[in-house]
Structure 1
């Protein structure tokens, strides 16, 4: 089963029907569930941050900073740094559950590697950075957003508020009659969709930062380029092509030549007005054309579905044949070169085959995005991960095929999953 529905809030925001879809409500739920987490973290940071600001202000005014304040700041800073790797475990665990509201792509599963790893591993300190982001930066964005929402609600409610007071302050002016407040109320109503959309942008930005900090493989093996050798691919291809040509020359071609000669002699012996003359002529012509067709097959094999359906349609056909549910998102603009289409098709075919055979996944996704003269192909799954190009030839063969068109293949597959195969193919004509 395939569909082109967006996988994350950032994609949904670019769709014309965003405001009428469930995504705004999912964004609001994501923002609201952030408030208690970010609030607790913000209070904790303020305990140290407020005295720090006081010390900085005193230093700027050339006033001496009292020793108790310096000691408090030192102890507080050390306490925050010492506890942050542990506190971030709970914070990121909650985030991994919540991010599904705005991004359907799974994050790498958390694996406990011991207390020492929490202070030495790069992945742990990325989680710490995410925790500080939630407690220090996100509340500022929420405060501004809340102020804008309250101002807009004041505009909308101003005709009713005027009746309860002598005058009402509306943004930059005051109104004291209902007639004066009505235009501001109309403006507030018109701004409601803008605010509704803006909350989605805020949630998408927060989710993007969370994915950037938490979406890297937990074992430190970030997206890495799979080892590839263009020379190996070219040599193997040339060797195979020469073998096929030799087999054709030594085996198929003599037999076809003999068949063509016999058909030609038979045409000479059969009168032109004979009923067998026309079929014999057709057979003779087909035999002569067969060698040409075989040479074309050797030069390059292109799946028929690519010709009939295009890359997006052919990939959806592959997804429909998979034994696990696969979602397909295609954003293709300009026509693609045939070699790029074929390469992308075989990448998806092999990657989905690996998902079915080895990943133990319950679902997978395929993304085809064309932008800035490049085709990006991503195949992801929620399986157990652990894909390693050194343990087989499948991924290395794909990297070879991609390298032949000046592209590159990257892989992220930490133990526990998920797995992401990303291929970048230049497609400038």
Structure 2
């Protein structure tokens, strides 16, 4: 793998070096032809074309970058508004990407291409010349002239072996040096060819992806904790409760039976609290049966009567289902504690690639996102998965909380 990376780095430097040399020759040719023909007016377009020489050079660099960088180098050139050469030229001469490409082409054909080619030539010839020295000495005999920069002459087997070992060291060092130079060259080219707004967009995209990864990791950890509690501590508490119940039945009447009875009741209460805790971390019902069943269960356990018109048979990613579930859970908690309502309703469905959930009540209204009821955190969480949370709660009611999450369904395993 390391050898492949070094080979790709050498290929990148060789390609950019040759491109720089060809760019220099083309520029000199256009400049000479344009200067000679300028008196006939024909040469003026040739001189004007020099400003566009960076366009193909930048395109070549974007392709070469794939050898050393998995991140694509975005094409910053705008699409001409109309077909035709005049529209294309007008667009190219008036955009920043063209002049950035010209700056890179100028740097490439004046400074960078000799460095690129020299690094590849030295990185290949020096280790190769040293490595073949023992073979040359064995084949040709004494006084073999090994032409490594014309400074080294082998006259004994000791020197030949030493040269071979030096070739191994030089090979490793040159491979590392070529790889480092290629990475630095790629960074320099990216910095010149990438527009500032493109870098900002890349940063925004990366931040959005990192937020999604964090949420996915958070949900995975919640699921793991829920499984550990459900399969471990809960089962032990169930077994303990059964053992205490059996011991209470077998114990004679007296203080011991009373203590066993109290212990059995405490174990039962602890089991109920643990189940509530598990449900709050990540409800098993959501994992096993999906969002519709979990939302219906939330409505059933709410202190206020809640009608359910939410019908979604499809399954979604764990993050989407968890986000929608906890939005409904928080909305129902606020409904029961703060709204003064005696009735609520959950509606929604999945259509057009968007999951919609609406929670409404007939309470007093006046709810706001910034009143500390947990809705701000829910709005942030919904935004992480690319969704939107909206709240309508005029004074006097009714209150409507709507969540829209763009998502795709996933196949349900049999």
Question: Higher Cα Rg: structure 1 or 2?
Answer: 2
Q: Same fold (TM over 0.5)?
A: no
The normalised TM-score by structure 2 is 0.41
The normalised TM-score by structure 1 is 0.40
